[in-house]
Structure 1
Amino acid sequence: MNYLESLILAVLQGLTEFLPISSSGHLVLAEHIFGVRKTGIDFEVFVHFGTMLSVLVIFWKDIAGILTSFFSKIFQINKFKVNFQSDENFKTAILILWASIPAGVIGLLFEKKIEMIFQNPRLTALFLTITGLILFSTRFAKNNPDKDFNFVSSFFVGIAQAFAILPGISRSGATISAGMFSGINGVKSAKFSFLLSLPAILGATILKVKEILEFSLLEKIPILIFSTIISFITGYIAIKFLFKVISRGNFSLFAYYCLIIGFLGLIFLK
């Protein structure tokens, strides 16, 4: 892989990872239509690390507060109820862990079957169309500005994240939509979605790191660092852009792109 190829793929990863248009769906379709070869596992680990860094940089204050509160209070079992109700950061930490369960269970139980779906571009196009319909339907979601996540709504978002393991189903699109359909406004839903992405991205990255430890990366380090920086920059831009779109009430506009790409895939792919 040369620098131009790594630039294109890192930009694609950074943008589609957070915009509600499905990074996995784009990869499957690009491989089929343009003959793009799969990137090495080392490249995937580094660009995912770059996108994770963009979330950490944007939400570092929230993340620091959540981690500090969680580790300082998790062992105070006798005061659990009081802490949960009175400490918003501790509550968020518990809800993120709670919402992470569905994707973890589904990923472990159905990993092989899900990998087979990645070989079917028409099915991916169908899922991308479904993503479009989900995004479009959010224009009918009613929310309460004062409503926050609880165990029910956060678990619903977690189920949406598990569903998004399928190629073509956008993780950010599904989880933000789930939050909005739970009556929570788009900005709060997006923030929870991105914080929820951290355990998922970190877990997937750790699993992949085991696979690349057997190989020597010394000669690849420059291009891998370059790719990480590019994915970080584009991921940062994508998150900022998405929040501007959501704050203006235009989240459903992404539906048209997903529907067009999905319909074209269903028509022309075999």
Structure 2
Amino acid sequence: MSVIEAFILGLIQGLTEFLPVSSSGHLELGSYFLGVQSEDNLLFSILVHGATALSTIVIFRKDILNIIQGLFKFQWNEETRFAAMIVLSMIPVGLVGVFLEDQVEALFGGKILLVGSMLIVTSALLAFTYFNKKHEGEVTFKSAIIIGLAQAIAILPGISRSGSTISTALLLGINKEKAARFSFLMVLPPIIGAMLLKTKDLMEAPDLVTNLPILSLVVGFFAAFISGLLACQWMISIVKKGKLIYFAVYCGIVGLLAVIGGSLL
């Protein structure tokens, strides 16, 4: 992987992790057309995912600090309740990761037709939110588990995690700002958990790491981190303004092109 390829893939990871267009789907498409299989290099994957996790922590540092401080009061308060809903939302994706890991991994690896089809599904989900104008509700334990189910489905390449979770929250009538906040914070534990598991795999089988130049790793990390910062802030603004319909159109077009391309190749 060259420095330019690492920059492009890092940029794709950072932008699409937060924008509702599917980071996994775009990484699959980017890797395919660049002729690079980035998922074969665990170290690169760990670094770019760590970069986007770090950008989330930077953006929501005050919220995270408040939650931690609330937890250490050892009483049932707003912060403890929010943390409990985050944990509840993690259960579906955790079960999928534990029991269906091999099946999920089999879905990756240049399956352009699948990615295109799932991008069209993402497009439809985002479009539905355009017709739901009532967003005054709070995140509840019931809605947390439903949003968690949406996150579990988003493991499929082409289904946007942020798109599916935010859209689900909006369709449930949750306040736009609170929907975005919950969506971005709920992904931190799964991302960190996945990074730890990949790090464990890396330590057990260091031969899985290809000989990537240090500069490529550094460039990929900072490309993902900086683009992640910008995309996260942009996405919060987009949700508040109710502009998800534009991404519905984008995902529909890219998905259709991928389906056509996948059928012809």
TM-score (norm: length of structure 2): 0.91
Residue 50 of structure 1 aligns with which residue? 51
Q: After the TM superposition, which residues 155-234 of structure 1 pair with which residues of structure 2 at under 5 Å, given as runs? A: 155-213=145-203, 214-215=205-206, 220-234=213-227
Residue 232 (structure 2) pairs with residue 239 (structure 1): yes
3-state DSSP of counterpart to 2:106:
helix
3-state DSSP of counterpart to 2:63:
helix
User: What is the number of residues matched between the two proteins?
Assistant: 258
Percent of counterpart pairs with the same letter? 40
Residue 7 of structure 1 aligns with which residue? 7
Looking at structure 2, the residues matched to 219 and 28 of structure 1 have their Cα atoms a distance apart, in angstroms, of 19
Looking at structure 2, the residues matched to 108 and 143 of structure 1 have their Cα atoms a distance apart, in angstroms, of 36
The residue type paired with residue 35 of structure 2 is G
Unaligned 5+ residue runs, structure 1? 77-82
Residue 30 of structure 2 aligns with which residue? 30
Structure 1 position 167, deviation (Å): 0.4
Looking at structure 2, the residues matched to 229 and 266 of structure 1 have their Cα atoms a distance apart, in angstroms, of 32
Structure 1 position 252, deviation (Å): 2.1
Residue 144 (structure 2) pairs with residue 154 (structure 1): yes
Looking at structure 2, the residues matched to 67 and 106 of structure 1 have their Cα atoms a distance apart, in angstroms, of 27
Residue 130 of structure 1 aligns with which residue? 121
The residue type paired with residue 124 of structure 1 is V
Query: 1:154 and 1:51, CA in 2 relative to 1: closer, same or farther beyond 3 A?
Result: same
Q: RMSD value over aligned CA atoms?
A: 1.9
3-state DSSP of counterpart to 1:67:
helix
Alignment counterpart, residue 115 of structure 1, candidates 96, 105, 110:
105
Structure 1 position 171, deviation (Å): 0.2
3-state DSSP of counterpart to 2:159:
coil
Looking at structure 2, the residues matched to 254 and 70 of structure 1 have their Cα atoms a distance apart, in angstroms, of 37
Query: 1:115 and 1:103, CA in 2 relative to 1: closer, same or farther beyond 3 A?
Result: same
Structure 1 position 219, deviation (Å): 8.2
- Compare 88-97 and 3-12 and name the one that shifted more: 3-12
Looking at structure 1, the residues matched to 187 and 218 of structure 2 have their Cα atoms a distance apart, in angstroms, of 22
Residue 249 of structure 2 aligns with which residue? 256
Alignment counterpart, residue 103 of structure 1, candidates 82, 93, 98:
93
Looking at structure 2, the residues matched to 264 and 99 of structure 1 have their Cα atoms a distance apart, in angstroms, of 33
Residue 11 (structure 2) pairs with residue 18 (structure 1): no
Deviation beyond 6 Å, 4+ runs, structure 1? 216-219
Looking at structure 1, the residues matched to 212 and 240 of structure 2 have their Cα atoms a distance apart, in angstroms, of 44
TM-score (norm: length of structure 1): 0.89
